[in-house]
Chains A and B, each alone.
Chain A
Amino acid sequence: MISHAPRSSLVLTTGLLVLAALIILSLMVGSRMISPIDALSGLFTPGSGSASIIVWQLRIPRTLAAIAVGVALAVAGILMQSLTRNPLAEPGLLGVNSGAAVFVVSGIAALGITDASGQMWMALFGAGLAATAVFYIGATGKGESIARLLLAGIALNACLSAVTGIITMFNSRAFDSYRFWVVGGFESRELSVVLTSTPLLLAGLILGFVLIRPLGALALGQDAAAGLGVPVPLVQAGTLLSITLLCGTATAIAGPLSFVGLVVPHVLRLLVGVSLSRLLPLSVIGGPILVLTADIVGRVIAIPSEVEAGIVTAFIGAPLLLALVLRLDSAGAHRARKIKRISRSEGKDQ
């Protein structure tokens, strides 16, 4: 196989540069545009004028939220896919999003919670509860536990979405709030929301990075991993905990952004190969790039109003995935044809 090492360092540097540019752009762009110099001076001298107020009050919380969510979802996606050994597994399969949705909706319908931080706690609580239920159902009993876990997730998702549906059918106010929450976005996120969820997110991130090596061994199969001395159930439980922490906080901050956890790992895998020790660090950069780009594009695409980041994410991520799948595939076909042609002409020569 081709070595991906030079390519992965290229991807890393490009990614870091793009991310830095995006962060500065994110401070500048919005319904009131700020020049790069004003944005930077506003950033470094807080309280020095209107530009600095906008940067510190509006743009920084939002940028931080987008970065946090991007990191969390991309890392959770990679962990989920390597745990289940299924490239189509999404962190949402653990019931995190639908659990959060049920709690947000019933919070609005029963308790009248509509403010951002209240919704954040409801979402966090619901996500944790749903994921615990899925673990519990999936872990009881014998046999292939991961397959059962996925099935349990699908089943619980179906039940919980039905509950959300019934509540939103009969409560107009809940539906009205819900349809904006479910899209996922960063408009008017407060700094406190991001800061409250940071410890949980960091815990999940550290746990994920600790698990890189054992997860790599687990890719050989459960028996082989056990033979190599990996405590398989412990690693699986730890990975699930990490995914739940990451995905739950992301959903609590921004609502369910469903596509990030699928597309970022796929794109990175097409770029640098399947090694977890390369993928996981790169996803910490790749996730924020996608989410931040989506947020910035959403801010400028329909001035003076905004398009939510959750919608833009799908419209950036899906064509990217399509292009990579189709291009790499046809490039492969081209190569195969070329080899065939060469071997045929060699055959003629002899």
Chain B
Amino acid sequence: MTRTPLPGTYRSPRTITSLALVLLIALSLITLIFGTYEITPAGVWQVLAGGGEGLDRYIVLNQRLPRLVAALAVGASLGLAGAIFQSVSRNPLGSPDIIGFTTGSATGALLVVLVLTQAGADAETAATGGGIGTGLGAIAGGFLTAALVLLLSARSGTSSAGHKLVLVGIAVGAMLSAFNDFLLTRADLEQAESAKTWLYGSLNALTWNSVWLPAVLICLAVPLALCFSRMLRVLELGEDLAAGLGLPVQAATRILMTGAVLLTALSISLAGPIGFVALIAPQLSHRVWRTPGAALWQSVLTGALLLVAADYVAGHALAPFQIPVGLVTGALGGAYLLWIIVRKG
């Protein structure tokens, strides 16, 4: 699997970390500088320093900055949530999707979008401007679904809890996704299209109004979740050994899962369900940093890096059209996986 590092090719983790940080800052600056409306790097610098012209200020501070902040926050929280899920479920493909969270949140958001537009607000506001409402719908739907799945699979039985959780999650997820398709076919074309943009996961046209609250919460939640990483390290030794070392295994698993679900919920409330970052970021950081167990803070960094890069591609690949960033992460993630498979063969 992993090649043993030769003495000559040793990479210190600190070098990698600083490289990643430099890359992240560079990408952030590129996102701020380049766009359909041209601003010189010097102009952007003036704006960031507090000066600059009116229009420049507006574009940078009210259009590009909120989007960048959202990309950083969503990427960070998805990366960490993925790392926690993969470590706790001991499955490299583990993600919040298994317990039906993503599908449920999509149902919640779809209901909000379709009901709001039915009530008279125009479709565009419901999907983007009224992002708070959609986000709340998504969170409510996600938590209800996750609770339902956990409740159904928590009944006593002989088969292992994990196996039942997966089956129940798949069954509930299949019903909800059929319901989502049903909602989409019964809506007007215009409603369906705005709902679809949300469903793909998009950072387009975000404003501070919808960004600041989830972003602040994510900034609080990520360090908090990282505080529990000691538990995760012990849990990685195996449940029996962890219990022997004095860790309350059940409670620890539950706390960590809740944390990961909360992080996912926050990111969904901001940008909709963005695929593949939670899957790829932990895998990539585990390989690049060569961590012994799950790479936690590294996944935060990688997740943010990936999403900022993907968002730049989404905004510029087919400019002036804006691709939803979820589609870009899907395509990039798929291509990355294909590359790994082909290279190994």
B239 shortest CB reach to chain A, Å:
21
Segment among A64-72, A76-84, A148-156 that sits at the interface with chain B:
A148-156
Instruction: Determine how close the nearest CB of chain B comes to the CB of A8; give it in whole angstroms.
Output: 22
Within 8 A of A (CB), among B198-232: 200
Binds A, one of B31-39, B179-187, B287-295: B179-187
Which of A103-111, A137-145, A246-254 has 4 or more CB atoms under 8 Å from chain B?
A137-145
Residues of B within 8 A of A314 (CB): 174-175, 177-178
Q: Does B246 contact A (CB under 8 A)?
A: no
Contact partners of B119 in chain A: CB under 8 A = none
Within residues 151 to 186 of chain A, which ones have a CB less than 8 A from any CB in chain B? 151-152, 154-163, 165-166, 168-170, 172, 175-176, 179-180, 182-183
Chain B interface mostly helix, strand, loop or mixed?
helix
Give how many A-B residue pairs fall within 8 Å (CB-CB). Answer: 149
Partner of A169, one of B167, B177, B181, B327: B327
**In residues 293-350 of chain A, which contact B (Cβ within 8 Å)?**
307-308, 310-311, 313-315, 317-319, 321-322, 325-326, 329-330, 332-333, 336
Question: Bound complex: CA of A65 vs CA of B158, how far in Å?
Answer: 40
Hey, which chain B residues are within 8 Å of A159, CB to CB? 330-331, 334-335, 338
Q: Is B168 an interface position by the 8 A CB rule?
A: yes
Interface string of B279-302 (1 = CB under 8 A from A): 000000000000000000000000
Q: Which B-chain residue is minimally distant from A330 (CB atoms)?
A: B157
Q: What's the least CB distance linking A139 to chain B, in Å? A: 9
Q: Are B341 and A148 in contact (CB under 8 A)?
A: yes
Interface pair B324/A165, CB less than 8 Å apart: yes
| Cα of A95 to Cα of B172 in the assembled complex, Å | 23
Report if A276 contacts B (CB, 8 A). no
B337 engages A155 (CB within 8 Å): yes
A318–B337 CB distance below 8 A: no
Chain A nearest Cβ from B61, distance in angstroms? 28
Tell which of B167, B189, B334 touches A156, judged by Cβ atoms closer than 8 Å: B334
The reply on B328 being an interface residue by CB < 8 A is yes
A259 in the interface (beta carbon within 8 A): yes
In the bound assembly, the distance between CA atoms of A12 and B179 in angstroms comes to 32
Q: Which residues of A contact B250 (CB under 8 A)?
A: none
Check: A262 CB closer than 8 A to any chain B CB: yes
Q: Are B330 and A158 touching (Cβ within 8 A)? A: yes
Chain B residues engaging chain A, CB cutoff 8 angstroms: 152, 155-159, 164, 166-168, 170-172, 174-175, 177-179, 181-182, 184-185, 189, 192-193, 196-197, 200, 275-276, 318, 321, 323-324, 326-328, 330-331, 333-338, 341-342, 344-345
Interface residues in chain A, defined as those with a beta carbon under 8 Å from any beta carbon in chain B: 88, 137-138, 140-143, 148, 151-152, 154-163, 165-166, 168-170, 172, 175-176, 179-180, 182-183, 258-259, 262, 266, 307-308, 310-311, 313-315, 317-319, 321-322, 325-326, 329-330, 332-333, 336
Can you list 10 residue pairs at the A/B interface with Cβ under 8 Å? A148-B341, A158-B330, A169-B323, A169-B327, A310-B178, A315-B179, A322-B152, A325-B168, A329-B159, A330-B156
Given A141-B345, A165-B326, A169-B196, output 9 extra A-B contacts at Cβ < 8 Å: A155-B338, A183-B181, A258-B174, A307-B182, A310-B178, A321-B171, A322-B172, A330-B155, A333-B157
